[in-house]
Amino acid sequence: MQQAKLSSDRTAVREVHSTAIAAELEAEIVTGKIGAGTKLDEQSLTRRFGVSRTPVREALHVLVARSLAERLPYRGVVVVDITCERIEQMFEAMGEVEALCGRFAAERMTIGERGQLEELHKKMTNISAGGDSAAYEEANTEFHAMIYAGTHNEDIEGLAETLRLKLAPFRKTQLQSLERMARSNEEHAAIVTAILEKDTQGAERALRRHLVSAAREVLSRMK
């Protein structure tokens, strides 16, 4: 029993390490500190972060899954060239998927789920007024996840989550602006209103507009 607990503790620590490493490398790639074509060498990273190879490998796996890096024969994991055109395409796909999620959520969410979404939006309004971008970002992830779950379709929910994870590093940067955070919350208000009123077309339009707005902010920061 004790041995099983120790094994579980080691796994938890490793996961914390890999998550932190992935987050730091992710931020450096998105900001351009680590440029396209740079090899992410396992041995160098283990020395830099003071960990074993396992959490580094797990962190690199996350970067590849999020399309920030790729595995090349004889080279290993290399940072990809992230162009504005590529980001625009990803946001276009995300916009259509989230619009679909909005339509189904407006149609299918239970009374309890609608109430939870409304309460979360009220909480986010207070967070936005206080200017806490980190708390807003965390609540924002929960907000969109609620809408995905509200589709009551596991395949659509999974697709939305996959796309969201790929765009997460870029969407994160736009919410550091207090002005963008306030606009985001206003856009959420339109989404919540449509879902509460079971306005499927309104929810679809509101989600699509929300993603167009986010894409515009992200792309303006990249140019």
| Chain centre to alpha carbon of residue 41 | 25
Last residue of a domain, one of 58, 79, 100: 79
Last residue of a domain, one of 79, 104, 124: 79
Whether 59 shows a pLDDT value over 80: the answer reads: yes
Which residues face 39 on adjacent strands?
A: 78
What pLDDT does 223 receive? Answer: 66
* Residues 68 and 114 occupy one common structural domain: no
* Residues 74 and 177 occupy one common structural domain: no
Tell which wins on pLDDT, 121 or 18.
Answer: 121
Stretch (H or E) spanning 69: strand 69-72
Whether 131 shows a pLDDT value over 60: the answer reads: yes
Cβ proximity of 17 and 55 under 8 Å: yes
What pLDDT does 111 receive? Answer: 98
Token representation of residue 42: 């396992």
- 9 is in which domain, residue-wise? 2-79
In the chain, the number of structural domains is 2
- Average pLDDT rounded to a whole number, residues 19-48: 90
* Residues 96 and 125 occupy one common structural domain: yes
pLDDT in tens, 152-171: 999 999 999 999 988 888 87
Distances in Å between the alpha carbon of 195 and those of 22, 26, 116, 140, 208? 35, 34, 12, 16, 14
Last residue of a domain, one of 79, 107, 138: 79
* Residues 66 and 105 occupy one common structural domain: no
Work out the mean pLDDT of the chain and round it to a whole number: 89
* Residues 132 and 145 occupy one common structural domain: yes
Stretch (H or E) spanning 79: strand 76-79
Q: How confident is the model at residue 104 (pLDDT cuts 50, 70, 90)?
A: very high
* Residues 68 and 104 occupy one common structural domain: no
Highest-scoring range by mean pLDDT, 46-50, 171-175, 204-208: 204-208
What pLDDT does 7 receive? Answer: 42
* Residues 158 and 190 occupy one common structural domain: yes
